[in-house]
A and B are shown apart, each in its own frame.
Chain A
Amino acid sequence: MDLSMRWLADYVDCGCDIKEFVAGMTMSGSKVECYEEEGCYLSNVVVGQVIEIERHPDSDHMYTCQVDIGEDKPVQIVTGAQNVNKGDYVPVAKHKSTVLHEGKPVKITKGKLRGVASNGMLCSLGELGLTVHDFPYAIEDGIFILGDDCDKTVGMDIREAIGFNDTKVEFEITSNRPDCMSVIGLAREAHATFNVPFNVKEPVFKGVDGSVGDYLKVKIHNTDLCKRYIGAIVRNVKIEPSPRWMRERLRACGVRPINNFVDITNYVMLEYGRPMHAFDLRYVEGGKINVRNARAGEKITTLDGIERELSEEMLVIADAVKPVAVAGVMGGEYSGIMDDTNTVVFESACFDGASVRTTAKKLGMRTDASSRYEKGLDPHECYEALMRACQLVEELGAGEVIRTVIDENYQDETPRSVEFDADWINSFLGSDIPEEDMKEYLSRLGFRLENGRVISPWYRIDIECKADIAEEVVRIYGYNNTPSTIIRGVAQAMRTPKQNFERNIKNAVLAMGLNEVTTFSFISPKYFDKIKLPADSKLRNAVTITNPLGEDTSVMRTTIIPSVCEVLARNYSYRNPECHIFEIGNEYIPVEGGVLPEEPFRLGIGVYDTADDFDFYSLKGIVEKIMEKAGVKEFEFERASEDSVFDEYYAFHPGRAAVVKVGGEEIAVFGELHPDVLENYGIAARAYAGKINMNELMERSSSEKLYRPLPKFPATTRDISVVCEAQLPVAEIEKAIRGAAGQILEKVSLFDVYTGEQIESGKKSVSYSLSMRSHEGTLNDEQADKTMDKIVKALEKIGVYRR
């Protein structure tokens, strides 16, 4: 809501400067976004009178003017405009002045135009930052010749002379205070804030004899959606521009002046916060107004020239035949005020907020009127608003108002009230505000106190309970004048096991050099193709946003892998030589028959490193350490395959991907990304990714740690080299070794895998260092040899032979 300070001054004199006004209003609840003095970019532009004008000696389109600007001597100014005559009063930008050029401030200095000295510039409306809507008698492409509605004192600052010196203040009005979307509403707030008198003005008009019923009949068919409908008739109207003061105020409030009748409805809307409508009686067929629901398929061309199809839940103002306006939103094109309009119908009505909101939304047209109605307006002020409009018609001499008015479906409800309990308010606020002060604040805000109850003024539809009264009191008392206290009582708080687990794993991953990232939870459905998910993959069944910003952010991710790939790809495109990242975040998995999806939390890892020798086994090492940190005692790695529960398998190099199994269940998948996936993401380096199901990992984790005594006796080490089929996973060999050796075997370390010379083709040599130890005494050679024999025999059974 833009407010004209000049307009506000009709109702209150705050007795302070603009800065104090803005601060005061903001702190009492009417937040000021910004304020601006009109035409503040203009400087050194004054009223001048052209006292002589002659053709430029060297130009056939320029003129040399002698202009009186109230100084000792007239100044000479050359102009190219064709509409200037001797005696005209014009805006003169003097030497060293600022005007607007194409919307931007520019400096004007003296100079020569084709050899003739010019000491400034005569200005057009555009150069002042105005349009012909502000001065309808002026022309767009010529000098602004001041009319009789301007002060023609030569030398006077132009802003003052033409009334372009108001201050406009932009307020952010919260949705509970539609009453403040008006000059009067803000004046009431200023009155309460600054404790200054509020000059109430009750609008009255004389009117002419006649019966409104002879012109118009109104019937409300839906009394729920239209709580009141008041109509007035103005006959013998004279359509013309409205006077300067009215245009000025509309402009300061951001509304474009059109003609006196349209301007009056807008003026009243801004002043009282009540949208009004004016239409031409000629086009109200049958002289009947029906406030009814639209009929299916009914159409209306609105004032903006667009034909719109209506639906049955929408409320319209119709004549005997067709809709002439969409109630509370916009009028119809053909019923608007024209230059030859003779009789005008003024409408001031109260429509249901929710209905107006739905209709405006559905039609995709949010107007000044709808934005006021939708927040809910009380039926009361309809009447005053209409009275004000009629008063303005007479003041402007714009027509004859029939004295009687139509007033349909009005029920004067008892005013709303809330219990007044000063002690409760203080205990709720933690304050110590004297009861008398509370009463004073409330009365300043227009509340009445009767029999221990606070009675709301009718425009305060937002007051419903004691807490509302507490807010009214404290916002005038000052939010920052209340004390600050610390909540009483002791409470014990701790992180949940899940939060602790997440922190624990996160710390481990950070310690291994991975940077944490934050990615969007929504992705493009195309990303499923990018990571090569099969067409029938369950992961393609995603939670879909019906109104996304774009396809890229239209489905909730069912897998964290594309998010990881995106980060790798972006860093690669930024030419970052390496990227080691992880994210702990949710996936969103639709639940068959459920309202909400599941949101399991996952650890996603991604790495590429063009400088270092990061490979599959580096990532495997990270995964191993995560398992260790999680306290998972037994887990195994297996080559990932199509049978994996992880459909992300397809994103990986089929020969370089593994799953982690705990108790036979897969809880993680990782590996080198498939060359196709890398190509899809534009990464020309090997890259690695992984996903760990954190919920599942947590279920299998253990934070239990028990000290094991340090060994008392030395260990015995034996090396063993074996030959086996190249395809055999070394994990099988290790399993066999451990199985055969039993407790005595403390550690198995693989130190070499070799294929090549001396090894039969299709075979490989694998070497281990075995560390054996007994807790009963030092192992002797005999014991160690015996164990080695057992191992060799066990290995032979699986086709692994000692070299």
Chain B
Amino acid sequence: MREQLKSIEARAEEELSKVSDSRQLEELRVRYLGKKGEITAILKQMGKLSSEERPIIGQLANSVRADIEKAVAEKQSQLKAAMAEQRLKAETIDVTLPGKAPRLGRPHPLNAVLAEVEDVFLGMGFDIVEGPEVETDYYCFEALNMPKHHPARDTQDTFYINENVLLRTQTSSVQIRTMEKTKPPIRIISPGRVYRSDAVDATHSPLFHQIEGLVIDKGVTMADLKGTLELLMKRLYGEEAKIRLRPHHFPYTEPSAEVDLMCFNCHGEGCSMCKQEGWVELLGSGMVHPKVLAGCGIDPEVYSGFAFGIGLERLTMGRYSINDMRLLYENDMRFLEQF
């Protein structure tokens, strides 16, 4: 019986080494370890043994069974691992095939840049205020120290609805509406559409966008204006951004300044991109004219303030190197999907 068990173990071991799939393994397991298997058959004959031999053979039989069980289990995990490996191998794909992309909508470049500007100003405590685009002559001109027949009106070719109503030529109209409603301190920006009777070309459009800024408080200075604009430009264009203020004239500010940004291409030396000037004209600004303050019921002896108007198109075009303003309003998918 001892020999029988030994030979079973040896055969099982040999057969096991030849097994190549899980079906064969199962057959083998049943044949040796099953209820009608060889080991069970041997155990059934145990009764014939003497009482001395019985525990010894019993122990041996159990150990043979345990060995075979262990070997089967090992084989099983080997087979599983092999199968898994085979499956992974079979399932290899070409990862360089194109992806299945979901649609991703993109904000219009003008609004993408506007959102950045808004964030900079929100961070400095500026509220965002809106105002009507169809506006009265009073808010667009008159209250901004440009009475009827003022020659400065010529620089803003205006679309009229009637004698008294027009399409605003500047978001400065919102300054007046805000100052009439709000007591200082005031810190606002007002982005929006403005309209001028300019035919469409690469740098002009009858509709464009401005971002107006206004700060009114006690002791606001021209140095504050400079500091605020410097900060904005550094945030938008990086720490190396440099601006300069240049005397100019706007009827609603005094002193008035145009603000130039140092050309990124030549760093102020002058090149074809900046028309040899070294600087690119960016926006208009100044200290709010005392007449404008007084007209809105704010005492210019107590309060002072500054205002500025940024052309969003110019900022955006500079930002993305867009050379033709018309692209911004054509809404060609091939253009929009670049941003």
A contact residues vs B (CB 8 Å cutoff)? 26-29, 31, 174-177, 353-354, 357-358, 374-376, 427-431, 465-468, 470-471, 474-475, 479-480, 482-496, 498-499, 506, 509-522, 543-549, 553, 556, 567, 570-571, 574, 576, 578-582, 586, 588, 595-597, 599
Contacts and interface: CB of A to CB of B under 8 A. Distances in A.
Contacts of A578: 333
A596 B132 CA distance: 8
B297 interface: no
A376 B150 CA distance: 10
A357 B149 contact: yes
A376 B106 CA distance: 51
Interface size class of B (residues with CB under 8 A): 35 or more
Given A474-B222, A480-B245, A357 B185 contact: no
B304 A428 contact: yes
B133 interface: yes
B332 interface: yes
Given A467-B254, A581-B331, A596 B165 contact: yes
B13 interface: no
A175 B154 contact: yes
15 contacts: A374-B151, A429-B255, A470-B222, A479-B257, A484-B223, A487-B228, A493-B124, A506-B107, A517-B331, A521-B133, A522-B206, A549-B199, A571-B332, A595-B136, A596-B134
B125 interface: yes
B225 to A, nearest CB: 9
Interface stretch (B68-76, B82-90, B97-105): B97-105
Contacts of B185: 489, 491
Contacts of B255: 429, 467, 470-471, 474-475, 479
A519 B136 contact: no
Given A470-B222, A485-B227, A544-B161, 5 more contacts: A475-B247, A475-B255, A510-B104, A516-B108, A517-B331
Given A467-B255, A574-B334, A487 B207 contact: no
A262 to B, nearest CB: 26
Contacts of B130: 498
Interface string B182-193: 000101000001
Given A177-B249, A480-B245, A428 B221 contact: yes
B126 A549 contact: no
B111 interface: yes
B136 A515 contact: no
B320 interface: no
Contacts of B164: 595
A543 B254 contact: no
A357 B151 contact: yes
B289 A467 contact: yes
B287 A596 contact: no
Given A485-B224, A493-B125, A518-B110, A175 B136 contact: no
Nearest to A506: B107
Contacts of B334: 574, 576
B319 interface: no
A151 B107 CA distance: 67
Contacts of A466: 290
A547 B159 contact: yes
Contact of B107 (A427, A487, A516): A516
A491 B110 contact: no
A510 B160 contact: no
A558 B160 CA distance: 17
Given A495-B122, A599-B132, A576 B333 contact: yes
7 nearest CB pairs, A to B: A513-B103, A430-B223, A491-B125, A430-B221, A471-B255, A29-B247, A174-B249
A513 B247 contact: no
B5 interface: no
B167 interface: yes
Interface stretch (B40-48, B49-57, B58-66, B212-220): B212-220
Contact of B215 (A471, A487, A515): A487
B246 A487 contact: no
Contact of A492 (B125, B135, B159, B244): B125
Contacts of A522: 195, 206-207
Contacts of B206: 520, 522, 549, 553
B126 A28 contact: no
Contacts of A517: 108, 331, 336
